[in-house]
Amino acid sequence: MDKMPKDHEMSGMDMSMDHHNMDDQMDMPMGDHGMMHMGNLRRKFWISLVLTLPIIVMTPMMGLKLPFQVTFWGSDWLVAIIGTILFIYGGSPFFSGAKAELKERKPAMMSLIAMGISVAYIYSIYAVIANDLFHVRPMVTNFFWELATLIVIMLLGHRIEMNAVMNAGSAVDSLAKLLPDVAHKVVDGQLQDVKVADLVEGDQVSVRAGEQIPADGVLIKGSTSVNEAMVTGESKQVTKQADDSVIGGAINGDGTFEMRVTGTGASGYLAQVANLVTNAQQSKSQQENMADRVAGTLFYAALSVAIVAFVTWLVVGNLPLALSVAVTVLVIACPHALGLAIPLVVARSTSIAARNGLLIRNRDALERVKTLKFALMDKTGTLTEGDFKVNAVGSYDDQRSEDQVLALLAGLESGSSHPLAVGILRAAKAQNVTPATINDVTQITGAGLSGTWQGQSIQLVSAAYLTKQQITFDQQQFDSLASAGNSVSYLTINGQLAGYVAQGDELKPAAQELIATLKQQNITPVMLTGDNQQTAAKVAAQLGIEELHAQLLPEDKEKYVREYQQRGAVMMIGDGVNDAPSLARAEVGIAIGSGTDVAIDSADVVLVRSDPHDVVEFLELARKTTGKMTQNLWWGAGYNILAIPLAAGILAPLGFMLDPMVGAILMSLSTVIVAINAMTLNIKQPMENQA
């Protein structure tokens, strides 16, 4: 990946920060469904735990005195005082969240939690006063044991969630740790060691053999090979020469070079990768919205059931019993497991993806995979290496040799970085052909290049362009070259054919696996390419792609995306600016090996490596993530659906009443199951080892 989004498009994370100061990062808000103003969650959890311990020691659990419990004169009031402090301090994050939800008239997770602990606290204070002052012993002594453990369990659960979220941040954070502390800055021709954090764009830096590159930059002197495995996941050594870009954090090989710094701090590659992951975590998925809707439904359901149960038991029983049942319903309705169901899974999924150079910019993309019907993909650079080799050069003028044609081609392409241009320039260099001087070189959109040579108009264009301009060419020769898998371009001078060049590309090793995987998942692969029909057909036949559309302009690709969307959800896989409109239009846009800002901005998923195998890994990760989300939603919501009516006494005629103690234990167990289930999300080990 050559570039990442520009500074002003990112949130500006300073990668020079102390990456070990994780506690401070716990102050960040958790999002719409989480604790809105939670303060330092870690400190709050530990203080709440300390306050909980004496409550556990001095308070019976639902009337059952445990062996380690101690009671004495005034212990009930001491517990009430500690419980009040815990209720206000430990419960404050839930009240803040509930206030925000109710203000928007959308009660959800925090509203349910706040309602549950509020009712438990109010009942417990009532129980203490009734027992000690009025000598009226309630059916349940108090709920302080349950109140304390509920608050601590919920804070612990959110602490676990924050840890899981920070895992994804830590995965990127670990990349930032690759940056060395000191850089060798070139000042007036002398090397001066400075802190990496003090580097600014434009500084000249020397990097010695074996050192880590201190910042993003461009080589200006020397050459080397660079190991970018810990940054991009690409294990092979990458040769770097003058004008080549390097990424901060990569490991220099045997050579020593000087570079000009192009990105530091917020503008560096690693900082922007971190921001991509952060943005992905903060975006809200459809199922997370569904979880909030479920919680909102439970809020009204629990409140309604509690009111009905209170009235019913008040009629058939007495006030203490009615209060006990109503409180039990509201305590059990607390949806902590449901609140963690989606965030934990997504945090784990994002963590796995970030460690492997797979950046999920839009979390909805994970869930949309299950609905995909078509996978539209570019050919060059996506399915093929994009490393073209000149297989044939020909002249249509007896007075002009093949080397002269190659010189003209190289002159036109000398300022281009297109794969076809690279192939021509490489061939010219190999044959010691000096590129001709071409002036006023401009691009012909979707067709080729034009320029001026010795006062004559010169063009390098496709066969489709010749046909459109009604310029006759040898169709039989073209078919022969194209059928062999070549991309064929034509040289014209003053509108007359002057020569041609045929270049061949190679399939990427994992392209076959990608197509096979798509078919196994009932996703129809479709090739969209600007190349000629014959070459596209050759590649499609090799890969087993039955649907293809060739000789397309960028707007044509976007049009096909819209057409296929009429038949089902579409995934678009592309590698650059030409694919940006299609990437933005598709339900799932994957930028593979993208080298431009616009490709990243348009895609839902960005793959650091230009490897089709990563698309396979993304599909696997997406399906497993969605599966875990569904499982956790069932664990979270299913518990409430069963426990609320039982707590209300629906089976009382059969002699069964759900004890609040049992309900609290089951709720805690449900939370633990959700957390463990989320943490078991994983994909094939080989991908884990690549990072």
Please identify every residue annotated as catalytic: 378
214 within 8 A of 312, measured Cβ to Cβ: no
568 within 8 A of 374, measured Cβ to Cβ: yes
Q: State the virtual CA torsion across 96, 98, 100, 102 in degrees, nearest 10.
A: -150
Q: Kindly state the greatest CA–CA separation across the chain.
A: 117
Helix (H) / strand (E) containing 37: none
Task: Compute the distance between CA of residue 642 and CA of residue 35 in angstroms, rounded to an integer.
Answer: 26
Residues 6+ apart with CB under 8 A from 36: 29, 30, 93, 96, 97, 100, 110
351 within 8 A of 167, measured Cβ to Cβ: yes
132 within 8 A of 322, measured Cβ to Cβ: no
Residues 6+ apart with CB under 8 A from 347: 161, 164, 165, 167, 168, 281, 678
Note the Cα 224 to chain centre separation in Å.
Answer: 32
Residues 6+ apart with CB under 8 A from 54: 78, 79, 82
3-state secondary structure 413-453: HCCCCCHHHHHHHHHHHHCCCCCCCCEEEEEECCCEEEEEE
350 within 8 A of 168, measured Cβ to Cβ: yes
287 within 8 A of 222, measured Cβ to Cβ: no
Task: Compute the distance between CA of residue 461 and CA of residue 444 in angstroms, rounded to an integer.
Answer: 8
Paired residues of 451 in beta bridges: 458
- Pair of tokens at residue 33: 């469904």
Query: Would you call 347 helix, strand, or coil by DSSP?
Result: helix
491 φ, ψ to 5°?
-100, 130
Q: Which residue has the tokens 């650079």?
A: 381
29 within 8 A of 38, measured Cβ to Cβ: yes
b/e code 407-425 from CB counts within 10 Å (16+ = b): bbbbbbbbebebbbbbbbb
Task: Compute the distance between CA of residue 239 and CA of residue 227 in angstroms, rounded to an integer.
Answer: 9
Task: Compute the distance between CA of residue 517 and CA of residue 571 in angstroms, rounded to an integer.
Answer: 14
139 within 8 A of 320, measured Cβ to Cβ: yes
DSSP state letter for 370: G
Write the DSSP string, 38-54: ---HHHHHHHHHHHHHH
165 within 8 A of 181, measured Cβ to Cβ: no
Paired residues of 359 in beta bridges: 606
